[in-house]
């Protein structure tokens, strides 16, 4: 496995592979790997002749009051894990190489960022779209893999790829969970044992919503109310949002919901912000793109 830091060198390598007719699979990450990252890499390994993983804690997607400085980092540990999964190249640039002095071009996906996390993290998705566009230009992948835990991010990247005619297939894979239900996230490393326990309310509330839905409940107010009451019962937990929305546009759904509606939530556990989501009525399976659901049943 090779580690490449220079964007121009990464581009030369990618160009070489393309000329040889090799399929390039790509997993963009901010490092501090967990099982979710590894599952994306394993799928990338299956889909590509070469597998590139990027590790870059992208400063432009963090707000001024957010956790950029304390975001967990351990490059040596990540490199060992990547090697075990069979990654060919880890692309790990310095911030100065990605955003040299004078940098001034950004990518913004207008409407999809006006919902859910976008309302609480101004500028976040502009930073994500910009860095992902840059990474695609550097790594030149045929296929890129993302987790559905960051559902809004996945939708925004799909939209960017369509709108800007990017020649890359986007694959979304199901959220990886700990045995007790907690969605895998690098930020779980921040949680104290009590917070870790409190954080289980997120997946528990989603499970309860799925249960209500499968028992025939369709009223959004009833489903959202139940989810909120589970989250609010824990004093360590502060709800940021709980929304039922259209899985393609992220517009909020009112009245009644059908199969395929997205239930998404964000909450703070202590100072740690966690997100989770589920698609009502869907048995989560590895599928390409978060499309094809019918939010109104």
* Binding residues for ligand PAF (CB under 6 A): 28-30, 58, 61, 128, 131-132, 150, 153
Least distance (Å) between residue 157 CB and ligand PAF? 7
CB 247 within 8 A of CB 255: no
CB 90 within 8 A of CB 1: yes
Least distance (Å) between residue 97 CB and ligand PAF? 15
Choose between 30 and 138: whose C-beta lies nearer to ligand PAF: 30
Q: Which two tokens stand for residue 146?
A: 């993302």
Choose between 131 and 267: whose C-beta lies nearer to ligand PAF: 131
Catalytic residue, from 37, 115, 124, 142: name it.
37
Rounded CA gap, 273 and 240, in Å? 9
Catalytic site residue 34?
A: no
Choose between 127 and 247: whose C-beta lies nearer to ligand PAF: 127
Q: Note the Cα 290 to chain centre separation in Å.
A: 12
Choose between 78 and 150: whose C-beta lies nearer to ligand PAF: 150
Please provide the size of the chain in residues: 297
Least distance (Å) between residue 100 CB and ligand PAF? 18
Least distance (Å) between residue 36 CB and ligand PAF? 10
Query: Would you please indicate which residues are annotated as catalytic (active-site) residues?
Result: 37
């Amino acid at each position: 496995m090779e580690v490449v830091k220079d964007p121009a060198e990464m581009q030369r390598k990618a160009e070489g592979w393309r000329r040889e007719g090799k399929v390039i699979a790509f997993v963009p990450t901010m490092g501090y790997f967990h099982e979710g990252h590894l599952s994306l890499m394993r799928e990338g390994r299956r889909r590509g002749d070469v597998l590139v993983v990027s590790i870059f804690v992208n400063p432009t997607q963090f707000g001024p009051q957010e956790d950029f400085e304390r975001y967990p980092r351990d490059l040596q540990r990540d490199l060992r894990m990547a090697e075990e999964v069979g990654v060919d190249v880890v692309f790990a640039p310095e911030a100065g190489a990605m955003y040299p002095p004078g940098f001034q071009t950004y990518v913004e996906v207008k409407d999809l960022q006006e919902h859910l996390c976008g309302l609480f993290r101004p500028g976040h998705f502009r930073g994500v779209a910009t860095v992902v566009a840059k990474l695609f230009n550097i790594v030149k992948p045929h296929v890129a893999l993302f987790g559905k835990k960051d559902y809004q991010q996945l939708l925004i990247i799909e939209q960017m790829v369509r709108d800007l005619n990017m020649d890359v297939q986007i694959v979304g894979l199901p959220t990886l969970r700990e045995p007790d239900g907690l969605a895998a996230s690098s930020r779980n490393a921040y949680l104290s044992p009590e917070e870790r326990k409190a954080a289980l309310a997120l997946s528990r509330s989603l499970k309860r919503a799925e249960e209500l839905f499968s028992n025939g409940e369709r009223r959004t107010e009833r489903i959202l109310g139940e989810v909120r009451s589970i989250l609010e019962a824990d004093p360590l937990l502060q709800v940021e949002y709980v929304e039922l929305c259209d899985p393609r546009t992220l517009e909020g759904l009112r009245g009644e919901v059908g199969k395929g509606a997205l239930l998404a939530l964000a909450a703070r556990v202590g100072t740690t912000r966690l997100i989770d989501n589920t698609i009502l009525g869907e048995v989560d399976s590895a599928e390409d793109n978060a499309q094809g659901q019918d939010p109104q049943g």
